[in-house]
Structures are given as C-alpha cells and as structure tokens.
Structure 1
Amino acid sequence: MSNPTPPGGQNQPAYGQQQPGYGQPQPQPQQQPYPQQGPVQPYAQQPYAQQPYAQPAYAPYPQPPGTNVLAIVAIITGFLFPIAGIICGHIARKQIRQTGEQGDGLALTGLIVGYVFTSLAVVYILVYVVIFVFIIGSIGVAGTMYS
C-alpha cells in the first residue's frame, strides 16, 4: 500500500553519513542504541547530618545608619527655642562623630539657626531697652521743664 521510499525514488542517507556507492547494498534501519529502561528509581536519601553541597548563607545587605534624632530636634528647636537648638546641635554633632550616624548637616543647620535667632533676639531686646530708656528719659526731662 504505502511505499516508504521518498518521492525521488531513492533513500536519502541521514546527515553526516556517506551515500552508498553504485551496486552496494542499501543500509538497513538500525535499532535504537539504548534499550528502554523501566521507571526511574529515586535516589536514596542521605542522613540529615551529611548533606553535601549546601549553599552558604549570605549575610543581608547592611542597613545604613539612621539619622541622629537630636539633629532633627536641633533644627526644629533652632526656630522655636534657639538656645535649645544650640544645645541639641552641639550634642548631636558629638554623637554623630562617635557613632557614625547621619544628620551632621541637620545638626549644623540647627546650630546656625539657633545662633542667628539668638543673636536677633539679643539685638531686639537691646533695641527695646534703648528705646524704653530713651522714652523714660524724655518724659523725665519734659517733667522737670514744667515745674
């Protein structure tokens, strides 16, 4: 019924094999080189203490040190209570040098803001006192002129 011969009328050899010469017998189909095997047997389990090839545990990526809390407090109190900002800023910078935490810029900013606001408060108080003394002095001079 069906002819296993390809359309060209000749059996073509597999890739890499030589063609049979004129008058040589045609090669017979070969059997499979590997016999079929039965179901695969699982490997025998090894005892728990002897498990080779264990992957080494990797250390987690180290977290960078956090920001110093006193540095944050220094910048906030530098605006509200300048003297507290100065004190917290100095303490924070000392802690940052010892521990290696972040926040040196915040502590320095808290110090600068604290010093600037303290100096502005001192200048304001001095101007207020000078104006008050001037007013009291002018009232005292005006009061002696009419008597």
Structure 2
Amino acid sequence: MTIPGPGQPQSPDPYGQQPSGQEPYGGQPYTQGPSGHQPYEQPAGGPGSQNPGKTLGIVGLVLSILGCTALIGIVVSVIGLVKSRKAGLGNGLAWAGIIIGVLWLVIGGIGLATGVGGLMDKCSELGPGTHQVDGVTYTCP
C-alpha cells in the first residue's frame, strides 16, 4: 500500500469499511428485521413508547366486571381509551370495559324495573300498610 502525497486522490479503504460518519447504501440507514430479510418497522408511537391508557383500561375493565361499579368502570375505560387514541394506539381492554359495563347497566336496569314492577303488583294486591308474606315484609304506600 502506498501513501498518497499532497494533491493525490486517496484510495478507498483496503478493508472495505465505510468512512466514519457516512451511512451505507446511498445515505439511507439499513436495518434488518428479526429474520434478517425484511426491514424492521417501528411500532406506532416510536421506539419504547408505552400505551398511556393501558392501566386505565385494565382498571375500567375490572370495575365493569364487578357489576356494582359498572358505571365507574365505563367512565375509567373511556378515559383510558381517549388517552390511548391521543397517543395513536389502540386499547382493547378499555373497549371491553365499556362493553361489559354497558351490558351490566342494561341487565341491572331490566332487573330493577322487573323488581319494582313486581313490588307494585304485590302492593296493589295487599293494599296500603305493612304486610308479612312468607317471611318477607312489604311496606306499601
């Protein structure tokens, strides 16, 4: 190997390495995926990003499943879903919390309406006052 003098062009690196600070392949950085064949794509939100609404989605789902806290679960799930959407991410757990909470509210509403309807029928049958029937106390207006 000869050392070029002043004004002479330098020969490329004999070992085939890129000069420091330059990207190979025409200035485009090259990344390989896990298989070594496909380019690696970053998930939405950038590398290392986390879903800001994931925890709220989980909490909302648990509250919705409990039934008696379904309304609170729906609210928490909606907040989690909104936070996830602002970050450009999905949140299936928040959706599940919303759906299950709404189902519990519908079932609870039907149960409440049925119970009130049954009580109204029993009171119309018994009349006003307090009544004991089969160990159950009914207080009718």
Bin the TM-score by the shorter chain: 0.5 to 0.7
Over 3 Å off, 4+ runs: none
Q: 1:77 to 1:88 in 2, by over 3 A?
A: same
Equivalent residue runs for 1:9-88 within 5 Å: 62-66=47-51, 68-80=54-66, 81-88=69-76
Residue of structure 2 equivalent to 1:135: 122
Aligned partners of 1:70 and 1:79: how far apart in 2?
14
Aligned partner (choices 96, 110, 129) of residue 109 of structure 1: 96
Aligned-residue sequence identity (percent) comes to: 22
The alignment's TM-score, normalised by the length of structure 2, stands at: 0.52
- Partner residue of 1:3? none
Report Cα offsets for 1:64-122 as digits up to 9, x if no partner. 424621101111001121001110111111101112345x1100000000000011111
Q: Give ranges in structure 2 of 5+ residues lacking alignment.
A: 1-19, 22-41, 129-141
Partner of residue 121 from structure 1, selected from 108, 111, 114: 108
Q: Name the TM-score, length of structure 1 as normaliser.
A: 0.50
Give the letter for the 1:98 counterpart.
K
Whose strand proportion is higher, 1 or 2? 2
User: What is the SS of the residue equivalent to 1:127?
Assistant: helix
Q: Would the aligned equivalents of 1:65 and 1:101 in 2 still touch at CA under 8 Å?
A: no
Tell me, in whole angstroms, the C-alpha distance in 1 between the residues paired with 2:119 and 2:54: 44
State the Cα RMSD in Å: 2.5
Structure 1 unaligned segments of length 5 or more: list them.
1-52, 55-60, 142-147
Match of 2:39 in 1: none
Cα distance in structure 2, aligned partners of 1:117 and 1:105: 18
Normalized per residue, which structure has more helix?
Answer: 1
Give me the whole-angstrom Cα distance separating, in 2, the residues matched to 1:88 and 1:101: 17
Map Cα deviations across residues 27-86 of structure 1 (whole Å, 9 max, x no partner): xxxxxxxxxxxxxxxxxxxxxxxxxx69xxxxxx93242462110111100112100111
Do the aligned residues in 2 keep the contact of 1:68 with 1:101 (CA within 8 Å)?
A: no
Q: What is the number of equivalent residue pairs in this alignment?
A: 84
